[in-house]
Structure 1
Amino acid sequence: MKLVDGRPESTEGRLDKEIRVYDFLDSLGVKYQRVDHEAAMTMEACEEIDRTLSEGVDSGVAICKNLFLCNRQETDFYLLLMPGDKPFKTKYLSAQIGSSRLSFAKPEYMERYLDITPGSVSVMGLMNDKDNKVQLLIDEDVLQQEYFACHPCINTSSLRFRTADLVEKVIPAFDHEPVIVILMQA
């Protein structure tokens, strides 16, 4: 596994939604590094990827859990970015956003609103949510790291860029106002 600067040299064998992420980041002037890898379906499978993404970075990289959630009625949808090593407790989040009975949203909603599939959930999917159906929630600890990492809407590559670019360039371009939340450790 090797960390490289920017987009792949060739688009052959890559999905359009992945290429749209690179086009989006390039259009914003965001400098990013990329690592290509086997499909990463769990946080455990991400350990080697995490080590590669952290190369040359003293302060660490915020490797996030990206959870796609909904209310019981399946009318409100949320994308939660939280530290990968922090446990998720719905009661802490529900109270902060005023939505009880949160659960994981069905894959068809993920595909409809974010154009991503399970295992590929990423903040980058918000570029596909033109109708603002998904509320972005960010645990405050994610914003404390110098670097941020995510998938480019597929789980066979991972990206690293400055958290400041996420906050100052990427999220404003999505036109999704984030809600900062505080999730408690277990």
Structure 2
Amino acid sequence: MKLVSGRPENTEGRLDKEIRVYDFLDSLGITYERIDHEAAMTMEACEEIDRTLDAAICKNLFLCNRQETDFYLLLIPGDKPFKTKYLSAQIGSSRLSFAKPEYMEKYLDITPGSVSVLGLMNDHENKVQLLIDEDVLTDEYFGCHPCINTSSLKIRMEDLTGKIIPALGHEPKMVKL
């Protein structure tokens, strides 16, 4: 695995949704580093990627209420346990659970294992509320997938909070878990 700067030179065989991420980041003038790797489906698989990136990769959890009418994307440190009751109390939504993959695809154009804050660029109807655990913001760099789990990006936290999130048009709600 090798860390490289910016978008791939050869985009052949890459999905449109991944290319849209690079176009989006480039349009904002964001500098980022990228690593290509085998599909990373678990936090354990992400550990080696984390070491190469030298950035904190957080868990990205796609959640919904019991009625499946409210959807949330929660960014939480990878090593922090997630307990729904603590989150439910802070956002005023009981009975949170993981949302079905079809909602993930419908609103974020992402499949399980590829969930990323960058998927919010595909949520044109603003159906998904961005929730960020305050501990995510303590690192200098942020690691995430470009809407596909065979690459990972290293982005400055100040670019995430100062440029990317505002451009996504999803006002984040800070939570403490």
TM range (shorter): over 0.9
Deviations 1:117-145 (A, max 9, x none): 00000000000000000000000000111
User: Residue 178 of structure 1 corresponds to which residue in structure 2?
Assistant: 172
> Equivalents in 2 of 1:8, 1:65: separation in Å?
25
Q: Are 1:150 and 2:144 matched, yes or no?
A: yes
Q: Are 1:92 and 2:86 matched, yes or no?
A: yes
> Equivalents in 2 of 1:4, 1:62: separation in Å?
17
Give aligned pairs, total: 177
TM norm structure 2: 0.99
Q: Are 1:12 and 2:12 matched, yes or no?
A: yes
> Equivalents in 2 of 1:144, 1:52: separation in Å?
19
Aligned-pair Cα RMSD in Å: 0.4
> Equivalents in 2 of 1:167, 1:52: separation in Å?
23
> Equivalents in 1 of 2:2, 2:85: separation in Å?
39
Stretches of structure 1 that go unaligned for 5 or more consecutive residues are: 55-60
Deviation at 1:84, TM superposition (A): 0.3
User: Residue 58 of structure 1 corresponds to which residue in structure 2?
Assistant: none
Deviation at 1:12, TM superposition (A): 0.5
Q: 3-state DSSP class of the match of 1:132?
A: coil
Identity %: 84
Runs (4+) off by over 4 Å? none
Stretches of structure 2 that go unaligned for 5 or more consecutive residues are: none
Deviation at 1:47, TM superposition (A): 1.1
1:29 is matched by which residue type in structure 2? G
1:17 is matched by which residue type in structure 2? K
Q: 3-state DSSP class of the match of 1:73?
A: coil
